[in-house]
Structure 1
Amino acid sequence: MDQLKPAIEFLKQYGFWIAVGIILLGSVGIWFKVTGDLVAESESRASAIRGDVSRVSSVRAEVPTHPNLISHEKMEEMIENRQGEVLDAWSTVFEKQKDILVWPEKELTKTLIDHYRDKIPIESYIQFPIPDEQKIPTNLLQQYAQYIGEVLPNIAKIAKAEWTAKFDTTTAARAGGGMMDDFSEPMMRGSIPGGIGDISISGVKKGPLVRWSQGAQAELISELFPWQSRRPSTLEVYYSQENLWILRQMLAIIADVNDQAQQPFEAQIREINKLSMGRKVRFVAGSLATPGTGGMGMDGMGMDMGMDDMGMDMGMDMGMDMGMDMGMGMDGGMGDIDPADNRYVDPDLQPISGSQLRSALESDSPADAPLKVAKRVPVMMSVQIDQRAIPELLAACGSAPLMVQVIQTRILGGPGGAARGGSDMDMGMDMDMGMDMGPMSGAMAPQAGNELYPLDVTVEVYGLIHIYNPPQKDKLGVDQITAETIIDGETMAEKVQNEKAAANVAAPDAALPAPEIPDAPETPDAGDGQPKPPAGAPDAAQPPGAGNPGQPAPVPVQPGVAESEPLAAL
Structure 2
Amino acid sequence: MDQLRVAFTWLKRYHFWVLALLVVGLSVGAWFSAAAALQQQYTAAKGKIEGEFSKLRSVSGKSFMPNEDVNAKQANENREFAARVKAIWDELYNSQKESVLKWPDQLGAAFVRHLSGKSFGDPIGLDYRNRYLNYIKKRFPDLLAIIDAEELESSGSGGGRSSLGRSRSRIGNLDEGGEGGRGGSPGVDVEEPQHMVDWLDQDTLRSQMDFAETPSSVQIWVTQEDLWVYETLLTAIAKTNEATGSKRQSKAAVRVIEELSVGAAAIRDTPTAGRLYVPEAGDGAGGRGFSEGGGFSEGGGFSDGGAGFSEGGRGYPGEGGGGLPGEGGGAAELLTNRYLDTQGLPMAVEPDSYSFGVEYKRLPIRMSLEMDRRWLNELIIQLANAPLQVEVDQVRINAEGTDNFRTGSNNTGSGADVITFDRTPNISNVVLQGSVYIFNPPDTGRMEVAAGGEESL
TM-score (norm 2): 0.63
CA 354–336 in structure 1, closer or farther in 2 if over 3 Å, else same: closer
Q: Tell me, yes or no, if the aligned pair for 2:320 and 2:331 is still in contact at 8 Å.
A: no
Equivalent residues of 1:408, 1:463 under 8 A apart: yes
1:6-28 Cα distance to aligned partner (Å, 9 max, x none): xxxxxxxxxxxxxxxxxxxxxxx
User: Given that residues 283 and 349 in structure 1 are in contact (C-alpha distance below 8 angstroms), is that contact kept between their aligned partners in structure 2?
Assistant: no
Alignment correspondent of 2:225: 242
2: CA distance between counterparts of 1:160 and 1:340? Answer: 31
Among 297, 308, 312, the alignment partner of 1:316 is 308
In the other structure, the counterpart of 1:424 is none
Give the 3 Å change call, closer, same or farther, for CA 416–326 of structure 1 in structure 2.
Answer: farther
- Which structure is larger by alpha-carbon Rg, 1 or 2? 1
Could you say if the C-alpha distance between residues 319 and 118 of structure 1 is closer, same or farther in structure 2, counting changes exceeding 3 Å? farther
Does the C-alpha gap of structure 1 residues 470 and 354 become closer, same or farther in structure 2, counting only changes over 3 Å?
same
Count of aligned pairs: 355
Provide the C-alpha distance between the structure 2 equivalents of 1:97 and 1:334, rounded to a whole number of angstroms: 28
Change (3 A) 1:396 1:352: same
CA distance in 2, matches of 1:382, 1:446: 30
Q: For residues 463 and 180 of structure 1, what CA distance do their matches in structure 2 show?
A: 26
Q: Answer yes or no: is the 8 Å Cα contact 1:414–1:456 preserved in 2.
A: no
Contact 1:283 1:462 in 2 (8 A): no
Structure with the larger RCO, 1 or 2 (CA within 8 Å, 6+ apart):
2
Q: What residue in structure 1 maps to residue 185 of structure 2?
A: none
Q: 1:161 aligns with which of 149, 154, 170?
A: 149
- 1:140-155 to structure 2, matched below 5 A, reads 140-155=128-143
Per the TM alignment, residue 154 of structure 1 is displaced from its structure 2 partner at its CA by 1.4
Aligned match of 1:122: 120
Give the percent of matched residue pairs that are identical in Structure 1 and Structure 2: 22
Per-residue Cα deviation, 1:520-541 (whole angstroms, up to 9, x for no partner): xxxxxxxxxxxxxxxxxxxxxx
Distance change (3 Å), C-alpha of 1:177 and 1:394? closer
**Runs of 4+ residues deviating >6 angstroms:** 45-48, 180-183, 320-326, 414-417, 445-448, 480-483
Q: Which amino acid aligns with 1:158?
A: I
The one of 216, 220, 238 equivalent to 1:255 is 238
Q: Which amino acid aligns with 1:316?
A: G
Deviation at 1:182, TM superposition (A): 9.0
Q: Using the alignment, how far apart are the partners of 2:205 and 2:236 within structure 1?
A: 17
- 8 A Cα contact 2:197 2:257, kept in partner: yes
Q: Is the 8 A contact 2:215 2:327 kept in 1?
A: no
For the aligned residues, what is the CA RMSD? 4.9
**Are 2:133 and 1:136 aligned?**
no
Residue segments in structure 2 that go unaligned for 5+ positions in a row: 1-37, 179-188, 272-292, 298-302, 409-416
- Corresponding residue of 2:95: 96
Would the alpha carbon gap of residues 77 and 48 (structure 1) be closer, same or farther in structure 2, given more than 3 Å must change?
farther
Specify the code of the residue in structure 2 equivalent to 1:209. Answer: M
Q: TM-score under structure 1 normalisation?
A: 0.52
SS of residue in 2 equivalent to 1:388:
helix
For the residues of structure 2 that align with 1:60 and 1:92, how far apart are their CA atoms? 43
TM-superposed CA distance for 1:143, in Å, is 2.9
Indicate how the Cα distance of structure 1 residues 333 and 245 shifts in structure 2: closer, same or farther if over 3 A, else same.
closer
Q: Aligned to 1:474, which of 436, 445, 448?
A: 445
SS of the residue aligned with 1:253?
helix
- Counterpart of 1:80 in structure 2 is 79
Q: Which residue of 2 aligns with 1:110?
A: 109
Cα deviations by residue, 1:112-170 (Å, 9 ceiling, x for unpaired): 33332242x324xx2xxxxxxx4522x5323322322211111111112122255xxxx
Q: 1:246, 1:320 → 2: CA distance? A: 31
> What is residue 28 of structure 1 aligned with on the other side?
none
State yes or no: 1:347 paired with 2:342: yes
1:346 is displaced (CA, Å) by 0.9
Q: In 2, are the aligned partners of 1:108 and 1:144 still within 8 Å (CA)? A: yes
Q: 1:158 to 1:241 in 2, by over 3 A?
A: same
- What letter matches 2:102 in structure 1? V
Distance 1:315 1:377 in 2: 16
Higher helix share: 1
Which amino acid in structure 2 is aligned with residue 244 of structure 1? L
Distance in 2 separating the partners of 1:481 and 1:388: 56
Gaps of 5+ in 1: 1-38, 127-133, 187-191, 287-305, 362-370, 418-433, 435-444, 488-570
- Separation (CA, whole Å) in 2 of partners of 1:357 and 1:375: 17
Give the alignment of 1:131-280 within 5 angstroms: 134-137=123-126, 139-165=127-153, 173-175=156-158, 179=162, 205-213=192-200, 216-222=201-207, 224-225=208-209, 228-259=211-242, 260-280=245-265
